[in-house]
Amino acid sequence: MAQLHVELVAVEDKVWSGDASMVVARTTEGEIGILPGHAPLLGQLADPGTVRIKTDSGDRAYTVHGGFVSVTEDGVSILAEIAEPVDAQGH
């Protein structure tokens, strides 16, 4: 299965980096789903917003404050001022 290389970076440090099958992010224009092969994109993250990263080993969710999501042929970069893990319930 095709994978995306994803990097989630906050101002202070790299929060998460790895391969994922899908990324879902809430932007100021609405929620977007990013799959492998997605067209290049630059979007402003909603503040506060949520980023969900779907991986083979399970889903990860983060609350983000400020920042941008960038999709290129190399993968997905999420640059946030603050990124905090969301406690998974029911998974």
Q: What is the CATH number of the domain that holds 16?
A: 2.60.15.10
Q: Which two tokens stand for residue 60?
A: 């990860």
pLDDT digits (tens, 9 = 90+) for 35-53: 999 999 999 999 999 999 9
Domains: count for the chain? 1
Domain span at residue 55? Answer: 4-85
What global pTM score does this model have? 0.90
Give a yes or no: residue 91 inside a domain. no
For 9-65, the DSSP string reads EESSSEEEEEEESEEEEEETTEEEEE-TTPPPEEEEBPSSEEEEEEETTEEEEEEEE
pLDDT at 88 over 60: no
Give a yes or no: residue 90 inside a domain. no
List CB contacts of 12: < 8 A, sequence separation 6 or more: none
Residue 64: C-alpha distances to residues 6, 12, 50, 90 (Å): 15, 13, 6, 21
Per-residue pLDDT, 90: 36
